[in-house]
Amino acid sequence: MLHDLFTPSVQHALDLAGIFVFAISGALLAVRKNFDVFGMAVLAEITALGGGLLRDLIIGAVPPAAFTDLGYFSMPLVATALVFFLHPQVERIQGAVNVFDAAGLGLFCVTGTTKAYEFGLGLTASAALGLATAVGGGVLRDVLANEVPSLLRWDRDLYAVPAIVGAAMVALCIRFDALNGLTSGFAVLTAFVLRLLAMRFHWRAPRAWNRRSAAAEEPSPS
């Protein structure tokens, strides 16, 4: 089904673009944590490929694409080199990086859901793996960097919710036999726009009702 949505060359180019921007975010976090170049490369690789690797191992698509396509593995290294030499300039265009990151989020939640369904999973499980494809690398990145994953923090703009919406839209399209290039593109666009709106207006998920915690609240980063 996935090959019916995009030609192989277009799909490969989109994957590499998503991998690149995710890798940039991993390498930038490594710089902020004062990691050396090896640590930068590790965080770039795990951020870019972790979600897809997890999905492929679960659905039995082995060896995973990350180990069979040199482009997938080398693109995070290119991102690492770019950040290593130009990180002040990359930091200055963080807003643009965030936009591309949102685009990668939308793309990966859709392709992840579709690939999981192709390998025989049900709709709910496929959507869950679409979410994991989109956000799994970021979670692994934060864990390796000894941080609470951004996905779980109340003071972060919505990230998983746009991916959930995109993955759910794909699952519904599959259910009603309506998945094609147009509807899949609309799902990507929806997740992308929701993420952009969340960043623009600082949308956040609600915390517990009548919360009465004495724990100190960590301020939101500037």
Determine the Cα–Cα distance for residues 113 and 173; give it in Å rounded to an integer: 11
Q: What is the pLDDT of residue 221?
A: 47
Statement: residue 220 has pLDDT above 80 = no
Average per-residue pLDDT in the chain?
88
* Residue 205 or 36, more confident: 36
Average pLDDT over residues 193-217: 82
> pLDDT tens digits, residue range 56-66?
999 999 999 88
User: How confident is the model over 72-107, as pLDDT tens digits?
Assistant: 999 999 999 999 998 888 778 778 778 888 988 999
Q: Give the up-direction half-sphere exposure of residue 82: CA atoms within 13 A in the CB hemisphere.
A: 19
pLDDT tops 50 at residue 222? no
pLDDT of 41:
97
3-state percent breakdown (helix, strand, coil) of the chain, nearest 5: 75, 0, 25
